[in-house]
Structure 1
Amino acid sequence: MSSLLSQSSSLIAFVRVVEAGSFSAAARSVGTTPSAISKSISRLEKKLNVTLFRRSTRTLGLTPDGYLFFERVAPLLRALEDSEDAIRPTGTVRGHLRVSMPSELGRLLLPRIGSSFLAEHPEVDIDLNLLDHHVDLISEGYDVIFRVGSLGDSNLRARTLARMDMALVASPDFLQARGQPATVDDLRDLPFVRYQLSGRTLPILFENGETLLPKGRIGLDSGFGLRTAAIDGMGVAYLMRCIVQQDLNEGRLVQLLEKHALPALELHAVHAFGSNTPIRVKLFTDFVQKQVQQLSRSGVA
């Protein structure tokens, strides 16, 4: 690898092409030309004596050798960027962020991310993946992930950002056809749009200790799907209250069993940087915490 250090610009070009998906996009990200990027990649391939990319007029993809090389090189470059970032004053934060958060939480925060966070930090780029299922933070290359509920045992660094109120909701048409439940037992007789994690339907726990295993013909793995299905009258849904508050305000959904309290679930930010968290990760996590707490307090989505 030491002989490759002299090829640092080519290594950066290679990683940027993979991340951006094209020579032209990579050139824009580093402030050069596609021709210069292409020449850097060619020099690197000659140095390694391998072909890193499959090139055609329409597509650009990694060869098996290219994939293996990227898996080794990309973490090293990110570590160098993070080391520089960790000692840089917060006012000059820059860099690339890979983030994963629940789909409906992302729907609420995306306008604020664009109008506030990115506007305030013009040298930060974000890849935002709106996923409800569990992801592997390290192997999938995320800088920080946001998750609601129990995290289980982990050696990763977790920070609790907020407690999210939960709600059981259904559409007015659904309730008109099926009736308004008055007890948890009444609720058991209603079809749900079930939240599934890794193919398993998760139970609902009430603060008084009662549990309910939702039953219904439709299982979904995202808050986006659950909310849409509930609005369309397909069943009862169990969701974070903040993501359905506007639907409740405007009559698209109705909250059920309001006197039967549901425990709030914790929203966590999880990363693998230990105590040397890059400034860009700290600032984005602080931003998400502030926005979510505002949403929870205001009840406005």
Structure 2
Amino acid sequence: MATPQEAIETALTPTSPSTSPQSLPLHHRVAIVTGSSRGIGRQIALHLTQLGARLVINYSSDNSAPADSLAAEINAAAAAAASLPRAIVVRADISDPTQVKVLFDSAERDFNSPVHILVNSAGTLDSKYPTIADTSIESFDRVFAVNATGAFLCSREAANRLKRGGGGRIILFSSSQVAALRPGFGAYTAAKAAVEAMTKILAKELKGTGITVNCVAPGPIATELFFGGRTEEQVKKIIDESPLGRLGETKDVAPLVGFLASDAGEWVNGQIIRINGGYV
């Protein structure tokens, strides 16, 4: 039997040509990753696939190309290894309960399996970074619809449909802004604070199911969402505030999610994990 340290190392180690698929920590498990056509979600999808998971790649925009490209990349690698298709693409707006249900229905139908893992990485913010006094009701509602309502709807569906008895994982996304409390992020931070509260409560409500619930809260990560609306000077200021002197990268976040999704992460439950290089 592997020691705890060996289990952690296995959970964080991607597959290689010499790795048996059956030895991968997420072998044959089904994972839904919302917002996975780009940014942090895309890197998470790739990492979970390397750990053996079968992926539902979710997007909500009119442009399916990034999601289709990612699925093709994953499935090409699976074909080379003589395994079944490992990724499907499902368009769904996570702020719509009907579409969230379709997301889970598609996963169960296409993989002929219950869903094991939900990673809710979809998110949005107002790139004008308005103060609370200047935040329009339309902006507030849009930010809450995706970040808070979306997390609630995905969590509710997962709580009722994830595999019981071991291996069930709900991994939500917040932000280190909840700890930083910076001006210009009023609606966004409030929505993410709601996600953190739901994480802790849901972990307790799922007692006895074997399903864990955790929340990953990144700091500044070099993605399209981060750079939107920011000047070069503003980006430099944020980098200067980091003890490590750089922005985070998507590859800094994905291994943490992989660990939480694996059996090695089972004893981590009901936690908010801030991953920001010391930014907060």
- TM-score, normalising length from structure 1? 0.27
Bigger-Rg structure (1/2): 1
Greater per-residue strand proportion: 1
